[in-house]
A = this chain, B = another copy of it.
Amino acid sequence: MTSTGFVSIVGAGPGDPDLLTRKAVRRLRRADLVLYDALVDPRVIAIARRASRFYVGKRAGRHALTQDAIHALLVRAARRGLLVVRLKGGDPFVFGRGGEEALALTAAGIPFEVVPGITSAVAAPARAGIPVTHRGVSSAFLVVSGHDLSAFEAAVNGTQPDAVTLVVLMGMANRARLAASLIERGWPASTPAAVITGAWTPEEHVARCTLVELSLASDGAPDAPGTLVFGEVAALACAAVAATYESRERASAR
């Protein structure tokens, strides 16, 4: 008789495998089955050496599997006694549909856990030297999806740029429209903005501009991943100097 397996809903963080948690690494190493999404770095997936690994993600509305099919797969694999890792970019509960999967597992009586990951909402700005909160500048930050313009507008309604930093995930495709919408809602055209792509991957890039400049730029490709930051903190220049920890460590090797 097989005992029931276990599902770990694991956040893979922003890309760099060194930003995985120790718990995530351990779960990946022991996994029998890994179901992963788009935007999970291949170096992270490779840690699950002994597991069968399947892509179940979606890009631009095209799904490899429906959400219901993913739920069914998780339940079936756990009932067969497997240690399953459901691997998601960033954190599973930040736009990751992890809540839906947790509810489905709860309903099916499957034991599971959530292993939080580093969310790009905080780590992508950090990589660009931008603190989402900063004493005397911003004591709150709003994380919102830029995928759906009307949901975005409902979420930012009433926000004041001197009180809140705005962090937009999944907003590259609509970035000009999002910026224009904020100006219409009373955000000053001169509000600093940052467009961060590929943070914590070898392709990282940061562009700084203002809200009006972004509103006049073109929208991005439908699938471009990236993080937008709007607010005074986006102008802070606490970028790390060029030296890296690794170069310092080599220099001091005795």
A residues sitting closer than 8 Å to B (CB atoms) are 3-6, 8, 13, 16-23, 25-27, 30, 81, 83, 91-95, 97-100, 102-103, 105-106, 109-119, 122-123, 125-127, 129-135, 139-145, 148, 151-152, 154-160, 162-164, 233, 236-245, 248-249, 251-252
CB distance from A66 to the nearest CB of B (A): 13
Partner of A134 from the list B99, B110, B251 (CB cut-off 8 Å) is B99
Closest chain B residue, CB of each to CB of A107: B238
Closest chain B residue, CB of each to CB of A8: B245
Contact of A236 with B99 in the complex, beta carbons under 8 Å = yes
Closest chain B residue, CB of each to CB of A122: B91
Partner of A248 from the list B5, B132, B252 (CB cut-off 8 Å) is B5
Contact of A114 with B163 in the complex, beta carbons under 8 Å = no
Q: With contacts A13-B21, A144-B140, A145-B140 known, is A132 near B93, CB below 8 A? A: yes
Complex interface: chain B residues within 8 A of A109 (CB): 241
Contact of B106 with A237 in the complex, beta carbons under 8 Å = yes
Contact of B111 with A248 in the complex, beta carbons under 8 Å = yes
Complex interface: chain B residues within 8 A of A252 (CB): 3, 81, 83
**A-B contacts besides A95-B133, A112-B241, 12 pairs, CB < 8 Å:** A6-B248, A17-B22, A19-B116, A21-B21, A22-B25, A99-B233, A100-B135, A133-B145, A141-B143, A143-B143, A154-B160, A157-B158
